[in-house]
């Protein structure tokens, strides 16, 4: 599986006083079952990547290639296959959920992609379990759910038809710490066990550091830095781009300045072990 | 922000028309209606049309938004022309009637694009405030009317979101033929309408939380003050009425 952005420029409200350019000469190539994270603030334009990947929006200049499909503003034949293989989960679940009941929402994709329709009832329950919700949620109205429950239903409704590429826009938004940890475990399972490509667009640097393989730092529609996740251990890069330094990296950097010899870790438990080893 | 292109939605840019007092805009519309209804002189209507086009230009709202509004009326205008031809009206009279319809639609479009819903409510309340002398509370009626107008842009915005979400999950709207697009619209219409109504209720509720009560006089913190441009507008539209009266007196 492959996602390639080839010199993409994306604008909205062209030829009006409110014209805005979100991506400028954006070029990146993503391949294989990994977690790719695009880090940037609200002005960076990273929230538009999902729409370009699943062809619900089109670039003004350049093209986006997803496996054999090319999105360059022209007609795309068999676009349903593209969208079944590249699913986008919106930052705000209210932008994505439109059915009245949870069951209708989950089974919508299965029904219209005609994917394992005969196993609909089983898949719907399994999708809820995957995101930590019980079967009781099936009969509930979407409008009665809390925002974090809606977020989980949005994730479940995208995973249910087994896409190869999953784009998460601000996945940690509206989730409490416990739910974030469950989501990290889910993402790791999707990559290692089910060989999915995960693309995350976020400004939550702590979440990105915990889960990513490769990180791209985006500012004002351009990629300013790219590399493995260790690039955000360089706090200067983050501060210049208006991004928060993860607490875990800040702690290690400050401790090392005071003479401790700690190495960077992914999560708090490993950090505690590292501190314990050093303290002896 | 392309969602603001729908008729009755507010288009927020910085222009001299946006800074006009909403009461003056509504008053000028009422003044404009006098020669539109009473006069059948094409020269006056053409002068009014050029004046309104200049106002549209000053509003800094893209012309194609106004053109879309008039273009959507093309069948109504065609029917009017055919009916008039059937009744043996002269071309000049037919053109006059068409210009009347276009003038009203263009001015109303300009008013909605350049006046926010809360300013519009304030303007209508002020115009109808004499009714308060008769102990008739007009605020709930105005609130309901403006909320009903604001519902349609909400409906279109919600429809777009639902179509994007449905397209991502198997019911395509963007890369398909017209029949499939119609099918996608029909499939999503019930949910779109329900969500738009819920959103409208939330907008009304949040407005009431900010002090927009319908039971007593509201505080309007951002109402544009009357300036030279407002006076000029009033003089211009009174001038049209004066021109009509002068024409009648000499004929």
With 70 as the cut, is the pLDDT of residue A271 above it?
A: yes
Q: Tell me, what's the pLDDT at B94? A: 80
Q: Tell me, what's the pLDDT at B215? A: 53
Q: Tell me, what's the pLDDT at B211? A: 67
Q: Tell me, what's the pLDDT at B1? A: 40
With 80 as the cut, is the pLDDT of residue B141 above it?
A: no
With 70 as the cut, is the pLDDT of residue B89 above it?
A: no
Q: Tell me, what's the pLDDT at B65? A: 86
- Section A264-280 average pLDDT: 79
Quote the percentage of chain A above a pLDDT of 90: 39
Six token digits for residue B13:
């840019």
Residues of chain A positioned with their CB less than 8 A from the CB of B62? 15-17
Confidence of residue A280 (pLDDT cuts 50, 70, 90): low
CA distance B2 to B135: 42
Question: Do residues A131 and A186 make contact, with C-beta atoms less than 8 angstroms apart?
Answer: yes
With 60 as the cut, is the pLDDT of residue B216 above it?
A: no
ipTM for the predicted complex comes to 0.84
Confidence of residue B97 (pLDDT cuts 50, 70, 90): confident
Element (DSSP H or E) covering residue A200: strand A197-202
Residues of chain A positioned with their CB less than 8 A from the CB of B185? none
Question: Do residues B75 and B139 make contact, with C-beta atoms less than 8 angstroms apart?
Answer: no
B55 close contact with A: CB closer than 8 A? no
With 80 as the cut, is the pLDDT of residue B4 above it?
A: no
Closest-approach residue (CA) in chain B for A113: B170
Q: Tell me, what's the pLDDT at B31? A: 92
List all residues 6 or more positions away from B14 whose beta carbon is below 8 Å from its beta carbon: B60
Q: Of residues B181 and B215, which shows the higher confidence score?
A: B181
Question: Do residues A243 and A231 make contact, with C-beta atoms less than 8 angstroms apart?
Answer: no
Confidence of residue B212 (pLDDT cuts 50, 70, 90): low
Q: Which residue has the tokens 């519309």?
A: B29
Of B2, B170, B191, the CB nearest to A80: B170
By 3-state DSSP, what share of chain B in percent is helix, strand and coil, each rounded to 5? 75, 0, 25
Q: How far apart are the first and last CA of chain B?
A: 51
pLDDT digits (tens, 9 = 90+) for B23-64: 999 999 999 999 999 888 888 999 999 999 999 999 998 888
Q: Of residues B86 and B220, which shows the higher confidence score?
A: B86
Confidence of residue B77 (pLDDT cuts 50, 70, 90): confident
B185 close contact with A: CB closer than 8 A? no
Measured CA to CA in angstroms, residue A7 lies from A25, A50, A67, A215, B221 at distances of 4, 16, 17, 19, 46
* B170–A84 C-beta distance less than 8 A: yes
- Section B123-146 average pLDDT: 76
What is A2-245's CATH number?
3.40.50.300
Of A13, A80, A95, the CB nearest to B1: A13
CA distance A251 to A253: 6
Quote the percentage of chain B above a pLDDT of 70: 90
Question: Which three-class secondary structure state does DSSP give residue B191?
Answer: helix
Q: Tell me, what's the pLDDT at A250? A: 86
pLDDT digits (tens, 9 = 90+) for A209-233: 989 999 999 988 899 889 998 888 8
With 80 as the cut, is the pLDDT of residue A248 above it?
A: yes
With 80 as the cut, is the pLDDT of residue B237 above it?
A: yes
- Section A195-202 average pLDDT: 94
Q: Tell me, what's the pLDDT at B219? A: 56
Q: Among A13-22, B118-127, B210-219, whose mean pLDDT is lowest?
A: B210-219
pLDDT digits (tens, 9 = 90+) for A141-186: 999 999 999 999 999 999 888 899 999 999 998 888 888 888 999 9
Each domain of chain B, given as residue ranges in start order, spans 10-116+225-251
Q: Where in chain A is the domain with CATH 3.40.50.300?
A: 2-245
CA distance B27 to A243: 51
Q: Tell me, what's the pLDDT at B2? A: 45
Residues A133-172 as b/e (b if ≥16 CB within 10 A, e otherwise) read: beeebbeeebeebeeebbbbbbbbbbbbbbbbbbbbbbbb
Residues of chain A positioned with their CB less than 8 A from the CB of B195? 98
Q: Tell me, what's the pLDDT at B7? A: 63
């Amino acid at each position: 599986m492959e996602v390639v952005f080839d010199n993409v420029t994306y604008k909205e409200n062209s030829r009006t006083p409110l014209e805005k350019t979100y991506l400028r000469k954006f070029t990146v190539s993503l391949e294989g079952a990994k977690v790719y994270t695009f880090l940037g603030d609200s002005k960076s334009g990273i929230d538009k990547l999902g729409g370009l990947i699943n062809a619900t929006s089109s670039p003004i200049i350049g093209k986006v290639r997803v496996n054999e499909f090319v999105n360059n503003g022209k007609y795309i034949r068999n676009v349903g296959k593209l969208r079944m293989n590249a699913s986008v989960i919106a930052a705000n679940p209210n932008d994505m959920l439109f059915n009245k009941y949870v069951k209708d929402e989950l089974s919508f994709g299965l029904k219209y992609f005609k994917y394992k329709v005969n196993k609909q009832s089983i898949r719907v329950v399994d999708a809820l379990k995957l995101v930590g919700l019980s079967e009781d949620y099936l009969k509930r109205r979407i409008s009665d759910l809390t925002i974090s429950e809606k977020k989980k239903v949005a994730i479940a409704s995208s995973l249910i038809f087994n896409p190869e590429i999953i784009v998460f826009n601000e996945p940690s938004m509206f989730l409490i710490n416990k739910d974030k940890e469950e989501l990290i475990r889910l993402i790791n399972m999707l990559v290692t066990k089910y060989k999915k490509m995960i693309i995350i667009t976020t400004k939550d640097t702590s979440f990105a550091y915990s889960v990513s393989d490769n990180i791209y730092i985006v500012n004002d529609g351009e990629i300013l830095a790219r590399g493995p996740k260790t690039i955000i251990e360089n706090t200067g890069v983050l501060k210049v781009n208006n991004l928060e330094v993860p607490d875990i990296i800040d702690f290690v950097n400050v401790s090392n300045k005071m003479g401790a010899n700690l190495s960077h870790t992914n999560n708090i438990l490993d950090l505690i072990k590292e501190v314990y080893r050093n303290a002896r | 922000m392309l969602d603001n292109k729908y008729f009755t939605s507010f288009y927020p840019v910085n222009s001299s028309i946006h800074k006009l007092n909403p009461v003056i805009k509504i008053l000028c519309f009422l003044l404009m209606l006098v020669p539109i209804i009473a006069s059948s002189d094409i020269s006056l209507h053409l002068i009014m049309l050029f004046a309104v086009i200049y106002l549209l230009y000053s509003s800094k709202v893209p012309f194609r938004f106004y053109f879309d509004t008039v273009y959507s009326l093309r069948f109504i205008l065609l029917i009017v022309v055919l009916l008039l031809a059937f009744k043996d009206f002269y071309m000049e009279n037919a053109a006059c009637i068409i210009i009347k319809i276009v003038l009203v639609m263009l001015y109303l479009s300009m008013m909605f694009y350049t006046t926010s819903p809360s300013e519009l409510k304030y303007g209508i309340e002020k115009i109808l405030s004499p009714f308060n002398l008769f102990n008739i509370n007009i605020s709930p009626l105005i609130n309901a009317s403006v909320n009903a107008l604001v519902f349609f842009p909400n409906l279109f915005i919600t429809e777009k979101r639902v179509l994007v979400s449905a397209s991502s999950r198997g019911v395509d709207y963007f890369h398909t033929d017209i029949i499939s697009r119609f099918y996608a619209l029909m499939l999503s219409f019930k949910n779109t309408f329900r969500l738009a109504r819920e959103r409208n209720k939330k907008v009304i509720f949040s407005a009431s939380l900010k002090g927009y009560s319908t039971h007593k006089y509201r505080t309007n913190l951002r109402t544009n003050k009357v300036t030279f441009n407002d006076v000029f507008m009033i003089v211009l539209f009174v001038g049209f009425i004066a021109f009509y009266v002068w024409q009648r007196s000499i004929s």
